[in-house]
Amino acid sequence: MRVKEIRDRLHEIVFEADTPLGKLFDVVLLVLILFSILIVSLESVSSIREAYGNWFLAIEWALTFLFTLEYFLRIWLVDKPSGYIFSFFGIVDLLSVIPTYLTLFAINTTPLIVFRSLRLIRVFRIFKLWRYLGEGEQMRKALYASRAKITVFITVVLTVALIVGTLMYLIEGPQHGFTSIPRGVYWSIVTMTTVGYGDIAPSTEIGQSLAAFLMILGYGIIAVPTGIVTLEYSRASKPSTQVCKSCSKEGHDEDAKYCKYCGAML
């Protein structure tokens, strides 16, 4: 009887965030995740790794132990363990603790960082905060609503990048860095998105003219996603509070007096 009670209370703390303790658990967990990511990041800096290598090892194992504990706790707490284990976050949680154990079997020390980098996928936990943030939901909705537009936009960008990239490969040639068509396409995307590294840049007059044309054209094309997002955003942010009493549908304009779906007064 008592075990069940503890289990229920722990479930509330670990899986929900309505109670103060539940919120505290989530915040502590997120801090630990961010801390473990910081450790992996710092460890990748060779000068820091050489100086504090042992510290990192100790912290790594302590964090892994805590995350493993949390993982088994979660399995124990849910009524259907398989449901959690094969859920998105279940797999993420497992994948984030495995790497450290795998290092026990690794002979060569170089790929250790590769294993440990897997820890990073735990950062997806941050998206669990999403639902508490109405703003995040709104942003997701705006992006989702404009998925068709974005697909068309990306198709246009890639088609233009393919054509211009091939043309630049033919015009500039390997001697100016355009060693192949894929490289030309890479350069086109770098130029159209206005990133412009300059690792590959046109040198001939015709190449520079085409590049200038692509920049101006590209800027026009690139302005499109901003227009899309602004539009969807302004739609998603429109008052959806009013619900028709007759047909229960949402999404009425601010100045609407009658339901646009069933004609009932609002």
Ranges within 86-105 binding a copy of itself (CB under 8 A): none
In the stretch 15-54, what mask flags binding to a copy of itself with x, by CB under 8 A?
----------------------x--xxx-xxx--------
φ, ψ at 265 (rounded to 5°): -70, 145
Q: What 3-state DSSP class applies to 180?
A: coil
Q: Interface residues for a copy of itself in 193-252 (CB under 8 A)?
A: 193-199, 201, 205, 208-209, 211-212, 215-216, 218-220, 222-234, 237, 252
> How many chain residues bind a copy of itself (CB under 8 A)?
93
- Is residue 40 within 8 Å of 32, Cβ to Cβ? no
Q: Is 183 in the site for a copy of itself (CB under 8 A)?
A: yes
Binding residue for a copy of itself (CB under 8 A) from 36, 64, 96, 191? 191
* Residue 216 half-sphere exposure toward CB, CA atoms < 13 A: 5
Residues 220 and 222: their CA atoms lie apart, in Å, by: 5
Query: 244 is written with which tokens?
Result: 């028709």
* Residue 260 half-sphere exposure toward CB, CA atoms < 13 A: 8
Nearest distance in Å: CB 84, a copy of itself: 23
**Residue with smaller CB distance to a copy of itself, 6 or 156:** 156
**Residue with smaller CB distance to a copy of itself, 59 or 150:** 150
Q: What 3-state DSSP class applies to 254?
A: coil
Query: 76 is written with which tokens?
Result: 């124990």
* Segment interacting with a copy of itself (CB under 8 A) among 13-21, 78-86, 96-104, 138-146: 138-146
Binding residue for a copy of itself (CB under 8 A) from 59, 143, 145, 243? 143
Sorted by sequence, the CB contacts under 8 Å of residue 250 that are 6+ apart come out as: 240, 242, 243, 244
Q: Is 189 in the site for a copy of itself (CB under 8 A)?
A: yes
**Residue with smaller CB distance to a copy of itself, 10 or 123:** 123
